[in-house]
Amino acid sequence: MKKRHFSRAAVLAAASLGASIAMAQTTPIKFQLDWRFEGPAALLLTPAAKGYFKEAKLDVTIDAGNGSGGTVTRVASGAYDMGFADTAALMEFHANNADAPNKPVAVMMVYNDTPASVMALKKSGIKTPADLSGKKLGAPVFDAGRRAFPIFAKANTVSGVQWIAMDPPLRETMLARGDVDAITGFTFTSLLNLEARGVKAEEVVVLPYPAYGVKLYGNAIIASPKLIKENPAAIKAFLAAFAKGMKDVIGNPASAVADVKARDGIINADLETRRLQLAIDTAINSANARAEGFGQVNGPRLALMASQVSDAFNTKTRINPDAVWNPSFLPSKAELNVLPKK
């Protein structure tokens, strides 16, 4: 009898030891999104929901964000290990914090083209970038499109613009009621937000930055220098699991949005599915992305962006493109083959 009790205790102890070893082999990763739990958040939430990160021995927690600038800062501070942020915001942090000991680095490009655009109502008479000269534009001060507008303006000879600042929830409302002539924002965000305010898509003029001479990259996955130094294998595992999830998201956006709704039950699933599909079509599965390859960048294009952002953002130092981008953790070409053929 005593022997039986001893055997059972030994089994329990062995199981406990095994669980402890398994936990010790799992790497915790704190991940910060750039924005709220909306359709595009499925890019991260779906691989998490499907267990791809767990299969890679990663314990990933994903939090909503409130802008790319905040995400970059939080990863730099060590509060988060990785994040999803606009490449221009990352470049700006590097150039304005040259002496900072911890500058995050982009390790995978996700939005090969910036989703930023200028949007106006057709009844305003605005049809082309040239029509924006002398007009009143609105956007939050930290909006990626507003920050990069000098690049758009230079490429299209736009001048005399007056800016009105507001909190993000008021941007589309102010355009809808005529308080501003046009707004800047991510197309998949503002276009659907306008629709929610009673403005039909056919009543909106959209001037996408990539279609008008602005070749900026958009959001990338960024990693902290600490994680890069101490556990590069975890970054490789994360990106491989993420790429695997991307196939699922692109293949079935509606199913992917269900993973977003599991995190925020009040979202409109149909609306967020459309938002996610719009993000895929305009920023992820673009002609540039298919030419360069998902997750990757073109060196000269990145260098041009660094120069343009330095000028437009009036950074303290010039941006070194090699300092903000590290492709050494990218999965194989086969694993990065996630984009459907056009």
Mean per-residue pLDDT for 333-337?
A: 97
97-107 average pLDDT score: 95
Which tokens hold the place of 340? 């459907």
- Give the angle subtended at the CA of 16 by the CAs of 15 and 20, to the nearest 5°: 115
Report the pLDDT value the prediction gives residue 191, as an integer from 0 to 100.
94
**CA distance to 165, 201, 263, per residue, from 42 (Å):** 29, 24, 10
Q: Minimal CA–CA distance to 188: which of 264, 111, 252?
A: 111
Inform me whether the pLDDT recorded for 24 exceeds 80. Answer: no
Handedness of CA 106, 111, 113, 116 (dihedral sign): negative
237, containing H or E segment: helix 232-251
Write the pLDDT tens digit of every residue in 174-190: 999 999 999 999 999 99
What number does CATH give the domain 26-113+217-329? 3.40.190.10
pLDDT at 280: 97
26-113+217-329 and 116-212 agree in CATH topology: yes
Check residues 306 and 342 and name the one with the higher pLDDT: 306
Mean pLDDT over 145-172 rounds to 96
Residue 1 has pLDDT above 50, yes or no: no
Residue 173 has pLDDT above 50, yes or no: yes
How is 165-231 classified by DSSP, letter by letter?
---GGGHHHHHHTTSSSEEEEEHHHHHHHHHHTT--GGGEEEEEGGGGT-----EEEEE-HHHHHH-
Percent of the chain with pLDDT over 90: 91
Per-residue pLDDT reduced to its tens digit, 213-266: 999 999 999 999 999 999 999 999 999 999 999 999 999 999 999 999 999 999
Both tokens of residue 312?
């437009």
* Residue-averaged pLDDT of the chain: 93
According to the model, what pLDDT value does residue 18 have?
47
Residues 247 and 334: beta-carbon distance below 8 Å: no
Average pLDDT over residues 64-79: 96
Q: What is the pLDDT of residue 342?
A: 65
Q: What angle do CA 296, 300, 302 make, to 5 degrees?
A: 55
pLDDT band at 7 (very low <50, low <70, confident <90, very high): low
pLDDT, mean of residues 119-139: 97
What digits encode the pLDDT tens for the residues 34-51?
999 999 999 999 999 999
212 band by pLDDT with thresholds 50, 70 and 90: very high
Domain limits, the chain: 26-113+217-329, 116-212
Mean pLDDT calculated for residue range 307-319: 96
The separation between CA 242 and the C-alpha centre of its own chain, rounded to angstroms, equals 13
Question: Is 116-212 CATH 3.40.50.1820?
Answer: no
Looking at residue 341, its pLDDT comes to 76
Position 17 pLDDT exceeds 90:
no
Higher pLDDT, 25 or 102: 102
Decide which of 208 and 25 is more confident: 208
Query: Residue 116 above 90 pLDDT?
Result: yes
